[in-house]
Structure 1
Amino acid sequence: MVTKKRYKVRKFAIILALLSLVLPAISSSAEGVPSNSHPHIPEPMVFDLVRPLGAPKGELEANTLLQYDFAHERTEANPEVEYTFADGYGIEFELPIDNTSEEGTSIAAYKISLQGTFNYPQSSQFIHGWQYSGEYFPDQNQYQNNALYLFGYRFNKRWSTLNMMGLRHTDLGSKGRFEGLFNSSLFYTLSPRLTMGLEINWEYKPNRPDRILILPQMHLKFTKHTMLQFGAGMQRVHNRNFAHLAARLVFTF
């Protein structure tokens, strides 16, 4: 058990070290990106941002994530509203909904998130920031907190990546545990209306099986204010693999 725990800690440390090596390697050779603006980088579908990093003040978005979890044979819905109250800073309200309750569909949690963008360094390729989210689960009377560092890089007019890493505290009480959170997404922009992506979510859980989601996805922009994201992939839960389906409908104002 000790050896397995050390192996998981070592694996997590190696990934964080590799990410730290990427940052100094950022250059200024991106194509097709204005030198005086933040880079445009798509958002992951499942691990959503509070609006893109660097978003201007006054943007408003309403969206809903729908997932079918084959591991637990349930449908999950996450309606949310996002607003940028200042340039590069946003707030999000989310109501995760679960249909596994004996009383039918019910609100599983109440969630609020804050996100900010760092202004240094100024770059047309690299952008970074932070995100905090607090979540209350009424059935368990528990509070969960996530703190993340976010960074994105646009290689050229087609390829870009967005990454997140941080910690989760599962409860404010004495039984609360710390878990590692990691998300890495790679995007290829085929046209202004079509983007292909690969999203990887990893929840590192000491002394328990990790949870990993690998989700290829497609983003279709129908109009200036409407987008559909959908994908199908694999989720590893309790050392078993399950199929996973997800879709997100987005409206911006």
Structure 2
Amino acid sequence: MRIKGISVFTKKRYKVRKSAVILAIFSLAMPAISNSAEDVPSNSYPHIPEPMVFDLVRPLGALKGELEANTLLQYDFAHDRTEANPEVEYTFADGYGIEFELPIDNTSEEGTSIAAYKISLQGTFNYPQSSQFIHGWQYSGEYFPDQNQYQNNALYLFGYRFNKRWSTLNMVGLRRTDLSSKGHFEGLFNSNLFYTLSPRLTMGLEINWKYKSNRPDQVLIIPQAHLKFTKHTALQFGAGMQRVLNRNFAHLAARLIFTF
């Protein structure tokens, strides 16, 4: 991939400096971007790994009939609790999927209980057709029985495969914390950089940022590893840092995945 319209053979010194800064930032932000997307057929969607914490409803561009069951386990040091998120995902048409999830935690007085009921829908945009770029959308609705509240998320998803090793997946959207007048909007941002070491091992860095107007933001930064044991089983795990109420806490997470 080339940067057009920038020349280092300019007569004005400030243009030379400007070009050098742009090139340096571009090189740092997109490793190995100059290489082509090797081993990716030109008539297919690019394969991009899924984030561990902010999960997709199957990868973008998934084929009809794919079925997955997985569980995310987290230890939240900020609130001193263990969380589990068992879920089932199914693609009912090429590029379109649905997910049912039951978030569980151990913070209730009665012990472990279902914290919410969640359903998500996801779609893939067919334009433009590219072997490197892919994008789509995701909507999720969540009901919290203890608070009798309904939460809604709407996200735009986009990913890019730089070459056979490096890829990125990003999400940006809005959350409405409740449908009543007491609810408010929050900004949701998720960014991931992946490096594929082998067909069975991928390293990643995931950043989740929740923007809250007039309140402290919440940020999670978590390096992770993705291990593929067999064609149908995989494990993602990682440890990182979460910032809550202007304080930093450790955070542990793992996701066990079964596909059918």
TM-score in terms of structure 2 length: 0.87
Q: In structure 1, the residue corresponding to 2:229 is in which secondary structure?
A: strand
RMSD: 1.3
Q: Distance in 1 between matches of 2:37 and 2:145?
A: 47
Q: Distance in 2 between matches of 1:67 and 1:30?
A: 34
Equivalent residues in 2 for 1:129-168, closer than 5 Å: 129-168=136-175
1:209 to 198, 204, 216: 216
User: CA offsets, 1:121-151, max 9 Å, x none?
Assistant: 0000000000000000000000000000000
Q: Distance in 1 between matches of 2:164 and 2:189?
A: 25
**Residue 89 (structure 1) aligns with:** 96
Equivalent residues in 2 for 1:21-170, closer than 5 Å: 29-170=36-177
Residues 70 and 242, structure 1, Cα contact 8 Å, conserved in 2: yes
Residues 35 and 162, structure 2, Cα contact 8 Å, conserved in 1: no
User: CA offsets, 1:160-215, max 9 Å, x none?
Assistant: 00000000000000011000000000000000000000000000000000000000
**Residue 15 (structure 1) aligns with:** none
Residues 188 and 197, structure 1, Cα contact 8 Å, conserved in 2: yes
Q: Distance in 1 between matches of 2:227 and 2:83?
A: 22
Structure 1 residues 55, 28: CA separation in 2 closer, same or farther (over 3 Å shift)? farther
Q: Distance in 2 between matches of 1:28 and 1:239?
A: 40
- Match status 1:189 vs 2:196: yes
- Percentage of matched positions with identical amino acids: 91
Residues 230 and 248, structure 1, Cα contact 8 Å, conserved in 2: yes
Q: Distance in 2 between matches of 1:251 and 1:30?
A: 28
Deviation at 1:27, TM superposition (A): 9.2
Residues 28 and 125, structure 1, Cα contact 8 Å, conserved in 2: no
Q: In structure 2, the residue corresponding to 1:42 is in which secondary structure?
A: coil
Q: Distance in 2 between matches of 1:115 and 1:68?
A: 27
**Residue 18 (structure 1) aligns with:** none
Residues 47 and 161, structure 2, Cα contact 8 Å, conserved in 1: yes
Q: Distance in 2 between matches of 1:28 and 1:149?
A: 27
Point out where structure 2 has 5 or more consecutive residues left out of the alignment: 1-28
Q: Distance in 2 between matches of 1:137 and 1:88?
A: 29
Deviation at 1:235, TM superposition (A): 0.1
Residues 81 and 107, structure 2, Cα contact 8 Å, conserved in 1: yes
Q: Distance in 1 between matches of 2:210 and 2:194?
A: 21
Q: Distance in 1 between matches of 2:36 and 2:195?
A: 17
Q: Distance in 2 between matches of 1:29 and 1:188?
A: 15
Structure 1 residues 224, 127: CA separation in 2 closer, same or farther (over 3 Å shift)? same
Deviation at 1:242, TM superposition (A): 0.1
**Residue 252 (structure 2) aligns with:** 245
Runs (4+) of structure 1 moved beyond 6 Å?
none
User: CA offsets, 1:33-63, max 9 Å, x none?
Assistant: 1111100000000000000000000000000
User: Which has more radius of gyration?
Assistant: 2
Q: Distance in 2 between matches of 1:56 and 1:229?
A: 22
Q: Distance in 1 between matches of 2:124 and 2:40?
A: 19
Residues 158 and 170, structure 2, Cα contact 8 Å, conserved in 1: yes
Matched residues, number: 229
Q: Distance in 2 between matches of 1:233 and 1:125?
A: 29
Amino acid at match of 2:101: E
**Residue 6 (structure 2) aligns with:** none
Deviation at 1:28, TM superposition (A): 9.4
Q: Distance in 2 between matches of 1:63 and 1:222?
A: 14
